[in-house]
Amino acid sequence: MPKPRYSLDIDTIPFLLSALQQKTKIKLQSHADSIKISHAINATGLQISPHTLSRLAGFFTSTTKPYLHNINTIAYFLGFRDVYDFETNSANKEYQNWQYNVIESEAMLAFESAKPRDFLNCFVQLVPMSNSHIRLLHILAREFRSGTKRGLTLLKEIEKHEQASYLYHQFFIDEDNPNGYFVQSLERIVRKRELGELEKVFYVEFASNKYFERGVWGKMERRSWKRSFSSNASQEHNENPHLMSRLFINYLYYFTSRESLNQDQLRRLLNKGVNYILDVDYFPARLAWLGRLVKCYLFIGAEDVLKENVGLKNELLSAIKSDVEDYEFQPILQYAALCFQWVNENDVRSYRSNWLNAVVYSSAWDFMTVALISEHNSKKCKAFISKAKSVAEQVNSQLMLQMIERHQRDYFLSLR
């Protein structure tokens, strides 16, 4: 099927979903709500699937660009000629934007007043992926990475608040959080909730990915890797780059943890992974694909294979120079580019606010990047490496610790 090619304003889909909720009188806060709204639309003779609505709402996490005919179906249901007619003529947009700003202000007041329940009640009123919703998620991320008392209180309240818990886990995935909170939470959702098959696959792949990346194979248990990559790569995975990338990376981790892949096998798999990346149009998903692939090859000690792949190099340099900022993956790519001398220290940038500030706990990749920049100052370099090890120990990442030890020997001049 050809790739969707069209352009919409950034807030069009959130406003479209908001208008859809107003017309159907159904709050879109879970996949179960998508099913109800789908039935309401299909009853008029139009056709749209619950999975399509959940993808538009973000419940399956940053999927491929939606097809225009699906978006137009919602616009038809709302009485417009198409989505462009909705963009031009919907009086709802300006009002909805004002309403979101009011709700966001109320949420911030509750946040500053240490009223987590009030904060979450505001949070669930926002349409997923609206600017207000994303800004509140960034605030949560800051608190959780900092390990503040307020952050821990919010986590406990999220666990108790069904709607907030569902929305929160759809969007918030943070590898830096200590004690494996997110993996444990995702597993609870898989066990307790009624989910669609695609959602279940996503959660299992995510949990598996995190287990592998920590180098703790024994925790995989009954949801461990059972089938080969080729038999698992269903059409659902092919259409969802986040699922496909996790499946592919799990395949690499699985086989390198049990039997050594030779250089030729690693080259072939890397070429295959790069080809998958080049087939993804949506840049954030493409960047995540690339970040996972590079991190995996660094973790398994296949740096030489990475360095010789011209296609990967070009994609990596493009990603770290992009205006898009991704705090999880671009620091990994930047660190690899520094190690391989594809960039110099003048090209290094920060992908998160208050970078290396004592209040916001930076990731091991950030600390390793600064250690490389500081490599001719042995004392400073060792201090940052020590911080990187501390982060890796907190998230129980044996592979990160092993990589740090290996890179101290191979890439840090001041420590030779």
Domain assignment present for residue 290? The answer is: no
Within 8 A by CB and 6+ apart from 375, the residues are 381, 412, 413, 414, 415
Q: What is the mean pLDDT of residues 98-119?
A: 84
Domain assignment present for residue 213? The answer is: yes
**CA distances (Å), 18 to each of 73, 75, 90, 134, in order?**
15, 12, 12, 16
Q: Is the pLDDT confidence value at 164 over 90?
A: no
Domain assignment present for residue 239? The answer is: yes
Q: Give me the count of residues in the chain.
A: 416
Domain assignment present for residue 336? The answer is: no
Q: Which residue reads 């909170």 in tokens? A: 181
Per DSSP, 179 falls in state G
Q: Count Cβ atoms below 10 Å from residue 115 Cβ, excluding itself.
A: 15
pLDDT interval class at 393 (50, 70, 90): confident
* Residue 132 sits in the same domain as residue 179: no
Task: Tell me the backbone φ, ψ of residue 96, rounded to 5 degrees.
Answer: -65, -40
Tokens of 167: 């929305």
Domain assignment present for residue 182? The answer is: yes
Task: Answer for the pair 144, 155: CB distance below 8 angstroms, yes or no.
Answer: yes
Max distance between CA atoms of the chain, in angstroms, equals 71
Q: Decide which of 115, 144, 172 is a domain's last residue.
A: 172
* pLDDT (0 to 100) of residue 165: 67
Task: Answer for the pair 301, 326: CB distance below 8 angstroms, yes or no.
Answer: no
* Residue 156 sits in the same domain as residue 98: yes
**Angle subtended at Cα 60 by Cα 55 and Cα 61, rounded to the nearest 5 degrees:** 100
Cα–Cα distance for residue pair 44/73, rounded to 1 Å: 11
Q: Which residue reads 């097809």 in tokens? A: 67
Domain that holds residue 111: 93-172
* Residue 184 sits in the same domain as residue 252: yes
181 or 75: which leads in pLDDT: 75
Domain assignment present for residue 297? The answer is: no
* Residue 102 sits in the same domain as residue 161: yes
Determine the angle formed by the axes of helices 31-42 and 50-57, rounding to 10 degrees. Answer: 130
Per DSSP, 413 falls in state G
Per DSSP, 114 falls in state T
Q: Is the pTM of this model over 0.75?
A: no
- Burial label, 163 (beta-carbon count in 10 A; 0-12, 13-18, 19+): middle
* pLDDT tens digits, 263-296: 999 999 999 999 989 888 778 788 889 999 999 9
408 or 259: which leads in pLDDT: 408
First to last CA, the chain: 53
Amino acid of residue 312:
L
* Residue 356 sits in the same domain as residue 371: yes
Per DSSP, 343 falls in state S
Q: How many domains does the chain have?
A: 4
Q: Which of 57, 60, 34 is nearest to 236 (CA)?
A: 60
Q: Is the pLDDT confidence value at 406 over 70?
A: yes
* Residue 179 sits in the same domain as residue 163: no
* Residue 148 sits in the same domain as residue 179: no
Domain assignment present for residue 362? The answer is: yes
* pLDDT tens digits, 297-340: 999 999 999 999 999 999 999 998 887 777 778 889 999 999 99
Q: Decide which of 30, 56, 90 is a domain's last residue.
A: 90
Q: Decide which of 172, 195, 224 is a domain's last residue.
A: 172
Sign of CA dihedral 365, 370, 373, 375: negative
* pLDDT (0 to 100) of residue 62: 44
Domain assignment present for residue 337? The answer is: no
* Residue 372 sits in the same domain as residue 416: yes
* Residue 29 sits in the same domain as residue 84: yes
3-state SS assignment for residue 320: helix
* Residue 86 sits in the same domain as residue 97: no
* Residue 32 sits in the same domain as residue 97: no
